[in-house]
Amino acid sequence: MESDLKTLLEDARTAAAEVSARPAFEAFKARLVGPNGRLTELMKTLGNLPKEERPAAGRAINEAKTALQAVFDETLGRIEAEETAARLGPPIDPSLPVPGLARGALHPLTLVREEICRIFRRIGFSVVEGPEAETEFFCFDALNTPADHPARDLQDTFYFPESVHFGNVSRRDDERYLLRTHTSSVQIRTMLQQQPPVRIIAPGRCFRRDTVDATHSANFHQVEGLYVDRGVTVRDLKAVLDYFFESLLGKGTKTRFRPHFFPYTEPSFEVDFSAAHLSKVGSKWIEIAGCGMVDPTVFEAVGYDPEVYSGFAFGMGIERIAMTLYGVDDIRFFYQNDRRFLEQFSS
């Protein structure tokens, strides 16, 4: 028995050196300790030995089991180490220079937004932000938008289910939560929190149920402005917007105001610009913004006396400005995260 066990261990150590993969290891192990393995067959002969020899033979078999397990552990450890090395590839040489890293850059919409904020800060405007999930009061009611106005329809505005509640945005029992359709809601919040003079811009993300195409998106960015004080006139409004567009687009930029209607301003205008010095714009007129004098009803909603104060408001799409500045003809490029597109603005 002892000589057979000794031969078995010697054969096992020799064969283990040739095993280099898991399937071969499992077959190797089965030949030794499987149901028909060599050690198993020796154990079956234990009952045939004389009674006085059985204890010594049993101890020898147990010692052989321990020795075989050590062979198995060593062999499997070697195989696992070889597999790990194969996955990791060749050793790393720390003395080699690292490959060049791609330089990150701001998104083109962020670049335009920051430039807009810089220009307005130069003339005394503060930058204010507000929640994207709003109530009907801030988004519509306080802005003189009646309940039957098309902008409040389900096909134009994203409403939350009545069961949804936002702890940081309170509402009346008869109100619904919605995703803001413009950042004018920030103007209302600001006027409720402070007395005139108020001079702010409110950039941010907005949402509307628009069909996505080259010029429309259900998720877009706006910047809206508000100036309230004693004696503010349309002349002040035009002076501010003329300064802004000339600062943004360069000297020689012209603007024109066309009569329009917005519920929250009276009179209201749409603003076009022309920039003959820009090859991608030329001498044609391009619609770029909406504006007007704040309607007295809006002042009453926030507790301002319209007999004492006047003001103007304006709003424009950041994507529209970016498309004009960079000559982009499809708004969807801004949201696709295509590195080939974004790299063009990294300089």
Does 95 fall in a domain?
Answer: no
Q: Are residues 183 and 81 in the same domain?
A: no
Does 38 fall in a domain?
Answer: yes
C-alpha–C-alpha distance, residues 177 and 309, integer Å? 31
Q: Are residues 56 and 204 in the same domain?
A: no
Q: Are residues 17 and 51 in the same domain?
A: yes
CATH code of residue 198:
3.30.930.10
pLDDT tens readout for residues 218-230: 999 999 999 999 9
C-alpha–C-alpha distance, residues 178 and 175, integer Å? 10
Q: Are residues 27 and 157 in the same domain?
A: no
Q: Which tokens is 151 given? A: 């902008």
Does 74 fall in a domain?
Answer: yes
For the chain, the average pLDDT equals 88
**Is the predicted pLDDT of residue 250 greater than 70, yes or no?**
yes
**Is the predicted pLDDT of residue 126 greater than 90, yes or no?**
yes
Does 269 fall in a domain?
Answer: yes
Q: Are residues 15 and 146 in the same domain?
A: no
pLDDT band for position 196 (50/70/90)? very high
Sign of the C-alpha dihedral computed for residues 237, 243, 249 and 252 taken in this order: positive
3-class secondary structure, 203: strand
152 versus 299: which is more confidently predicted? 299
Q: Which tokens is 340 given? A: 């080939």
Does 289 fall in a domain?
Answer: yes
Q: Are residues 127 and 196 in the same domain?
A: yes
Helix (H) / strand (E) element for 69: namely helix 54-88
- Predicted confidence at residue 247, as pLDDT, reads 94
**Is the predicted pLDDT of residue 117 greater than 80, yes or no?**
yes
Q: Are residues 164 and 196 in the same domain?
A: yes
Q: Of 113, 174, 171, give the one whose Cα is nearest residue 138.
A: 171
pLDDT band for position 1 (50/70/90)? low
- Predicted confidence at residue 347, as pLDDT, reads 64
Q: Are residues 15 and 83 in the same domain?
A: yes
Does 50 fall in a domain?
Answer: yes
What average pLDDT score do residues 189-201 get?
95
C-alpha–C-alpha distance, residues 218 and 333, integer Å? 14
C-alpha–C-alpha distance, residues 133 and 128, integer Å? 16
Rg of the Cα atoms in the chain: 39
Which residue is listed with tokens 């995260």? Answer: 337
Sign of the C-alpha dihedral computed for residues 83, 85, 87 and 89 taken in this order: negative
- Predicted confidence at residue 346, as pLDDT, reads 74
C-alpha–C-alpha distance, residues 245 and 116, integer Å? 10
Percent of the chain clearing pLDDT 70 (strictly above):
94
Q: Are residues 188 and 310 in the same domain?
A: yes
- The three-point CA angle 212-206-224 to 5° equals 125
Mark which of 88, 118, 145 sits at the end of a domain: 88
How many domains in the chain?
2
321 versus 88: which is more confidently predicted? 321
Q: Which domain holds residue 192?
A: 108-345
Is the pTM value of this prediction over 0.85?
A: no
Q: Are residues 76 and 122 in the same domain?
A: no
- Predicted confidence at residue 333, as pLDDT, reads 92
Does 94 fall in a domain?
Answer: no
Q: Are residues 255 and 333 in the same domain?
A: yes
pLDDT tens readout for residues 11-37: 888 888 888 898 998 988 888 888 888
Does 101 fall in a domain?
Answer: no
Q: Are residues 75 and 123 in the same domain?
A: no
Q: Of 210, 132, 221, give the one whose Cα is nearest residue 169.
A: 132
